[in-house]
């Protein structure tokens, strides 16, 4: 949005004189660095270590998931842009970011067509039908993932993660949250911190998600209020669950480091299009996601709930915006 006024200046043909007074809608002083392309490039930089870790852990299965989703999202973006008679919008990297986040959120064992179907649904139904980038209500990558999750429950659910036959060490056991849900056993915290556990391709390493996320917050590509809200509410609710159960403090950290929580908090929930715009609203949004994640983890049939929590709160984002309109100067 900030580009508009600058682009208007650029649009004046070189031959004509610049008008004495340039008339353009606000904001009049805009940061030249706050463009979609720069933000998306930042996200790609922050995701790079996570991608390296996923390739180290899941070998070519991770490469396949990321490559298929990346390729199909770009292809879908180009195709749908052409159908709508728009110039292709691949250069802003938003489709690439959707593709990589989607690829990182899939289990390593999922066949290639799951990534392809999820990508086309993500871009087509998640984004283009609402009018393209900046218009979508729901996070496109999560729309795609929810579609394949509901469609192919046996290839996407908890059992898909446990594949000893693939010859990958991490995939011989259940994911930490499935182990907790089904057997009540907990995985060593060290492994979850460094990322040596089973899980979706990109979610395993809590450390790398934190590093990438903090980089995004420092660069102001992601706002800090959403991850802060998510983490605080998860810690509080996990604390209550811990007091009710083992009372050792271990469960709190297990919920904090396990599953897609940190990946989702920093990379998925912070999508600027589908989250509220006011700082207070963003915090409320984050608290809501954390609350829903813990409700799903503790009381539903699913071991993990980041995807559904983000989608549900996306639907509430416009309402949160209305609740948290800041007072204008001079208003009572």
Partner 1 sequence: MAKTIAQEFTKGLWNEIPPFRLVLGLCPTLAVTKSVEGGIGMGIATTFVLLFSNALISILRNIIPPKVRIACYIIVIATFVTVVELLMQAYTYAIFRQLGIFIPLIVVNCILLGRAEAFASKNKLLPSIADGLGMGIGFTLSLASLGAIREIFGYGTFYGMHVFGPSFEPFTFMVEAPGAFVCLGLMLCLMNLAGGK
Contact footprint for partner 1 (CB under 8 A): 113, 117, 125, 129, 147, 150-153, 155
- How near is the Cβ of 151 to partner 1 at its closest, in Å? 4
Residues 238 and 258: beta-carbon distance below 8 Å: no
Alpha carbon distance 90, 213 (integer Å): 24
Comparison of 151 and 185: residue with beta carbon closer to partner 1: 151
Alpha carbon distance 218, 271 (integer Å): 16
Place of tokens 């609740």: 323
Residue 328 backbone dihedrals phi, psi, to 5 degrees: -80, 160
Comparison of 151 and 190: residue with beta carbon closer to partner 1: 151
**Is the Cα torsion angle 226, 114, 96, 166 positive or negative in sign?**
positive
Comparison of 124 and 229: residue with beta carbon closer to partner 1: 124
Q: Report which of 239, 226, 241, 227 is spatially closest to residue 281, judged by C-alpha positions.
A: 226
- How near is the Cβ of 19 to partner 1 at its closest, in Å? 40
Alpha carbon distance 204, 90 (integer Å): 29
Comparison of 143 and 289: residue with beta carbon closer to partner 1: 143
- How near is the Cβ of 147 to partner 1 at its closest, in Å? 5
Comparison of 130 and 193: residue with beta carbon closer to partner 1: 130
- How near is the Cβ of 39 to partner 1 at its closest, in Å? 29
Comparison of 206 and 311: residue with beta carbon closer to partner 1: 311
- How near is the Cβ of 149 to partner 1 at its closest, in Å? 9
Alpha carbon distance 253, 241 (integer Å): 12
Q: Quick one: how far is CA 331 from the chain centroid?
A: 37
Comparison of 155 and 214: residue with beta carbon closer to partner 1: 155
- How near is the Cβ of 106 to partner 1 at its closest, in Å? 15
Residues 46 and 267: beta-carbon distance below 8 Å: yes
Alpha carbon distance 268, 165 (integer Å): 31
Residues 282 and 325: beta-carbon distance below 8 Å: no
Comparison of 9 and 129: residue with beta carbon closer to partner 1: 129
Alpha carbon distance 327, 279 (integer Å): 13
- How near is the Cβ of 92 to partner 1 at its closest, in Å? 25
- The CA-based diameter of the chain, rounded to the nearest angstrom, is 75
- How near is the Cβ of 300 to partner 1 at its closest, in Å? 17
Residues 290 and 298: beta-carbon distance below 8 Å: no
Q: In terms of C-beta density within 10 A (0-12 exposed, 13-18 middle, 19 or more buried), how is residue 103 classed?
A: buried
């Amino acid at each position: 949005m900030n580009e508009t006024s600058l682009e208007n200046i650029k649009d004046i043909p070189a031959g004509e004189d610049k008008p004495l007074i340039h008339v353009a809608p606000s904001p009049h002083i805009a940061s030249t660095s706050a463009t979609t392309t720069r933000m998306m490039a930042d996200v790609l930089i922050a995701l790079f270590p996570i991608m390296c870790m996923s390739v180290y852990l899941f070998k070519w299965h991770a490469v396949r998931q990321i490559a298929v989703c990346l390729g199909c999202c770009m292809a879908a973006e180009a195709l749908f842009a052409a159908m709508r008679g728009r110039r292709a919008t691949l250069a802003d990297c938003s489709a690439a970011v959707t593709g990589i986040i989607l690829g990182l959120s899939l289990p390593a064992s999922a066949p290639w067509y799951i990534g392809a179907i999820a990508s086309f649904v993500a871009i087509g139904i998640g984004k283009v039908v609402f009018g393209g980038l900046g218009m979508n209500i729901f996070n496109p990558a999560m729309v795609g993932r929810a579609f394949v999750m509901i469609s192919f429950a046996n290839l996407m659910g908890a059992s898909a993660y446990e594949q000893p036959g693939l010859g990958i060490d991490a995939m011989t056991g259940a994911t930490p949250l499935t182990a907790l849900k089904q057997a009540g056993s907990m995985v060593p915290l060290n492994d979850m911190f460094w990322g040596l556990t089973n899980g979706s391709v990109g979610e395993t390493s809590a450390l790398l998600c934190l590093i990438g996320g903090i980089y995004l917050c420092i660069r102001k590509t992601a706002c800090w209020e959403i991850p802060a809200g998510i983490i605080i509410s998860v810690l509080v609710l996990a604390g209550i669950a811990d007091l009710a159960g083992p009372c050792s403090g271990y469960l709190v950290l297990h919920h904090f480091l396990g599953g897609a929580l940190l990946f989702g908090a920093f990379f998925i929930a912070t999508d600027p299009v589908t989250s509220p715009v006011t700082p207070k609203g963003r915090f409320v949004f984050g608290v809501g996601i954390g609350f829903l994640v813990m409700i799903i983890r503790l009381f539903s049939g699913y071991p993990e709930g980041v995807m559904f929590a983000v989608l549900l709160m996306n639907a509430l984002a416009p309402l949160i915006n209305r609740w948290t309109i800041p007072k204008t100067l001079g208003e009572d």
